[in-house]
Amino acid sequence: MPKILGDGDPFPKSVMFGDGDHFPARHGDEDPFPLHHKALAAGGTEEWVLGKASYMAEQLGPFVILHANGTINNTNTTPHLVTSIPIDPKSLPYFVLYFQVQGPGNTVMQPFAVDAHFLSKKDIPTVTVFDADGRHEIQVINWLPTP
C-alpha cells in the first residue's frame, strides 16, 4: 500500500477534516481544508493546494456530474476533484478542487478539465465545491427531471 503522507496512513483524517469535525461545511464559509499539508513523494516533496476553476454541474437521471475547467501553470501540477464521504446517507457529498504539485517543473500555462460524479435518486438543485476562492454553490442542470 502506498504511503500518502509518509506515515503509512492512506486515509489521514486531518487532511480532510482538520480539527476532527466531520461536518466542516456547516460552520459557514470558513475554509475547512488546510492549504499547507505536504506529503513525501519519491524523490522530493509533494504539495497539495486548493486550486481555482470554473464549474458546471449536470444531472442525467440518477447520475450527477460536476465538471471543473481551468488552467494550471506548471507541468508538474495535477488537478483533482476530491469527493467528501458523507457520514449521513441522506446528506449530499461536497467536492474540493486540489492541485497536486510534485516538485519544480516548467512554467507553462495549460488547460485542464476534471470531473467527479455521484448517484442520487432525487433531483439535486445545487452541488457544493470548495476551492481557493472559498465555497461555491453550483446550479445543477437537470436533463431528465423526475416526474
Read off the pLDDT of residues 20-36 as tens digits, 9 standing for 90 and up: 444 444 444 444 444 33
19 domain residue, yes or no: yes
Read off the pLDDT of residues 60-70 as tens digits, 9 standing for 90 and up: 999 999 999 99
8 domain residue, yes or no: no
Q: What is the pTM of this model?
A: 0.67
147 domain residue, yes or no: no
Give the integer Cα–Cα distance in Å for 45 and 115.
26
> What is the extent of the structural domain holding 121?
13-142
What is the number of domains present in the chain? 1
Give the integer Cα–Cα distance in Å for 109 and 127.
28
Residue 15, helix vs strand vs coil: helix
Read off the pLDDT of residues 89-129 as tens digits, 9 standing for 90 and up: 677 889 999 998 887 778 888 999 999 999 888 899 999 99
* Average pLDDT over all residues of the chain: 75
28 domain residue, yes or no: yes
| Percentage above 70 pLDDT, the chain | 67
Residue 112 or 6, more confident: 112
Task: With beta carbons less than 8 A apart as the criterion, state whether 103 and 43 touch.
Answer: yes
